[in-house]
């Protein structure tokens, strides 16, 4: 019986969409999943700070190899921003470095927000996990060392003011992967001339998965205990459901799993999901226009 359970665990591959509670790191959540499933091969696709909550995608088994594609997808957040106060971490966990009165109207705030929409350069917070000379930026900042990070190109699709109760605002943020909402809060405060910091953050959506698709961690823990957690596991093929797909017959599945190409019709530069007739993810493939063949880039079905 134990051998059967081990064999089942070894073949499990999929996605858990978890509503991460505040107070836990993303790594803490992954550890809960590893213990609950007895599967060591698990990882998340985008860090949420302990202060933040919301959608955390955890990949299990061979599906972890999808991480680079899922983590690169757009995110949507609900950000709580407090104006009139600056901190060294750009959020409520840091040390206050200055306070100023807030004399900002709703119209001024909305106009300022639009200045951050589009493709912009953003400097990450000094207290971030970015590595500088082999050390995390926050480690250097905590030692009192001056941290200078290079700006990065990000894309903010939209910023909408949801609530305005001066000096506090709730903002809907739709942005590219790699955007630091803490930096947005700080930069917004600087633009308004009064300072600002992030006081709360909820990730509402990551790629195609929203908070409505997620399971609270508490409920997932209960499912681990009674053995029903499998019902929350989303097949790996659905994790990239927005991608174009090709369906392989059994002979083609056998060829692809051994790294061989298959003939077909495709578009250069567009990766596709190759799936079985039963809907299982076989591989990610791209198209060679010269030979008119799909070539495997990552194979999952073995």
Is residue 129 within 8 A of residue 25, CB to CB? The reply is no
Is residue 65 within 8 A of residue 41, CB to CB? The reply is no
* Percent helix, strand and coil across the chain, each to the nearest 5: 30, 35, 35
10 Å CB burial of residue 173 (0-12, 13-18, 19+) is buried
CA distance 29 to 216: 11
Centroid of chain to Cα 166 = 30
Centroid of chain to Cα 159 = 18
CA distance 301 to 253: 8
Tokens of 169: 């605002």
Centroid of chain to Cα 232 = 19
CA distance 206 to 18: 11
User: Of 3, 19, 28, 49, which one is the catalytic site residue?
Assistant: 49
CA distance 30 to 141: 27
How far from 182 is each of 50, 188, 253, CA to CA, in Å?
13, 10, 46
Instruction: Give every CB contact of residue 108 below 8 A, 6+ residues apart in sequence.
Output: 192
| Residue 49 known to be catalytic | yes
Task: Show which residues are catalytic.
Answer: 49
């Amino acid at each position: 019986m134990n051998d059967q359970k081990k064999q089942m665990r070894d073949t499990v591959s999929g996605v858990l969409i978890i509503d991460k509670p505040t107070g836990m790191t993303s790594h803490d959540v992954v550890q809960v999943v590893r213990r609950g499933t007895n599967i060591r091969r698990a990882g998340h696709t985008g860090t949420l700070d302990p202060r933040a909550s919301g959608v955390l995608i955890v990949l299990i088994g061979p599906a972890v190899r999808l991480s680079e594609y899922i983590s690169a997808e757009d995110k949507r957040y609900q950000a709580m921003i407090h104006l009139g106060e600056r901190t060294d971490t750009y959020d409520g966990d840091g040390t206050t470095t200055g306070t100023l009165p807030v004399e900002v109207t709703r119209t001024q705030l909305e106009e300022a927000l639009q200045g951050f929409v589009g493709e912009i350069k953003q400097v990450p917070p000094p207290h971030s996990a970015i590595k500088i000379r082999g050390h995390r930026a926050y480690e250097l900042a905590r030692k009192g060392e001056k941290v200078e990070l290079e700006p990065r190109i990000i894309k903010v699709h939209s910023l909408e003011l949801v609530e305005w109760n001066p000096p506090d605002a709730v903002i809907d943020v739709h942005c590219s992967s790699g955007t630091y909402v803490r930096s947005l809060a700080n930069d917004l405060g600087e633009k308004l001339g009064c300072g600002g910091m992030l006081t709360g953050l909820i990730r509402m959506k990551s790629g195609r998965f929203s908070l409505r698709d997620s399971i609270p961690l508490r409920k997932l823990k209960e499912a681990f205990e009674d053995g029903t957690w499998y019902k929350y596991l989303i097949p790996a093929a659905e994790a990239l459901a927005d991608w174009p797909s090709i369906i392989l017959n059994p002979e083609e599945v056998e060829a692809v799993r051994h790294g061989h190409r298959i003939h077909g019709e495709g578009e250069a530069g567009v990766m596709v999901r190759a799936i079985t007739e039963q809907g299982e993810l076989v591989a990610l493939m791209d198209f060679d226009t010269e030979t008119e063949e799909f070539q495997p880039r990552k194979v999952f079905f073995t």
